[in-house]
């Protein structure tokens, strides 16, 4: 199963992103497939926080528009929303020990642990920091799809 990181979600929403078309295409490919794909709940929360943040964008995405986008993704019958489950703490501890992350990097470890717990094989992300976590293949789907 493929899971989607926050940055791909953000790029697919922000019309001022040079990655807009590539991110839209990547998400459309998953959403229209019959194969299960996933978004970790922390990525949904972070997506909303980032796109609506007035300190990040000159013109932030209006909250109702961001909520509509999230609802649109949830219409995909193959989407699986991932949250912490019974095995999460063991996965997180393993990742934190092995990667030696600290501070805000724990957020990425959290996403990786949730993905590993749910058997996600691949995380689509433009964030190279995920490469420090074992047991999860990281693919940047934007590099093969960039269209301006």
Q: How far is CA 108 from the centre of its chain?
A: 10
As a whole number, mean pLDDT of residues 16-26 equals 93
- Helices within 14-146 (DSSP H only): 20-31, 41-51, 63-74, 88-99, 106-117
pTM for the whole structure: 0.91
Domains in the chain: how many in total?
A: 1
Confidence of residue 42 (pLDDT cuts 50, 70, 90): very high
Q: What is the pLDDT of residues 99-132, one digit of tens each?
A: 988 888 899 999 999 999 999 999 999 988 888 8
- The dihedrals phi and psi of 142, each to the nearest 5 degrees, come to -80, -30
Inform me whether the pLDDT recorded for 146 exceeds 60: no
> Per the domain annotation, does 145 fall within a domain?
no
Q: Any idea of the CA torsion for 141, 144, 145, 148, to the nearest 10 degrees? A: 120
Looking at residue 32, which CATH number applies to its domain? 3.40.50.1010
Long-range contacts of 91-100 (CB under 8 A, 24+ apart): 91/116, 91/117, 95/133, 95/134, 98/133, 98/134, 99/132, 99/133
Which structural domain, as residue segments, surrounds residue 17? 2-139
> Per the domain annotation, does 146 fall within a domain?
no
> Per the domain annotation, does 148 fall within a domain?
no
Confidence of residue 148 (pLDDT cuts 50, 70, 90): very low
> Per the domain annotation, does 144 fall within a domain?
no
Radius of gyration of the chain (CA): 15
User: How far apart, in whole angstroms, are the C-alpha atoms of residue 55 and residue 105?
Assistant: 21
> Per the domain annotation, does 46 fall within a domain?
yes
Q: Name beta bridge partners: 39.
A: 81
> Per the domain annotation, does 105 fall within a domain?
yes
Cβ-based neighbour number of residue 71 at 10 Å: 9
- DSSP-assigned letter for residue 75: T
> Per the domain annotation, does 94 fall within a domain?
yes
> Per the domain annotation, does 147 fall within a domain?
no
């Amino acid at each position: 199963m493929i899971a989607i990181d926050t940055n791909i979600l953000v790029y697919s929403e922000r019309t001022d992103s040079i990655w807009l078309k590539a991110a839209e295409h990547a998400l459309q490919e998953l959403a229209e497939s019959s194969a299960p794909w996933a978004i970790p709940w922390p990525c949904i929360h972070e997506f909303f926080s980032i796109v609506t943040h007035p300190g990040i964008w000159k013109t932030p995405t209006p909250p109702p528009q961001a909520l509509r986008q999230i609802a649109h993704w949830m219409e995909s019958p193959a989407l699986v929303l991932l949250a912490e489950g019974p095995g999460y703490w063991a996965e997180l501890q393993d990742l934190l020990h092995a990667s030696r992350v600290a501070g805000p990097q724990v957020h990425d470890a959290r996403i990786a642990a949730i993905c590993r717990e749910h058997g996600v094989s691949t995380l689509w992300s433009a964030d190279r920091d995920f490469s420090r976590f074992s047991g999860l293949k990281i693919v940047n789907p934007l590099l093969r799809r960039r269209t301006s």
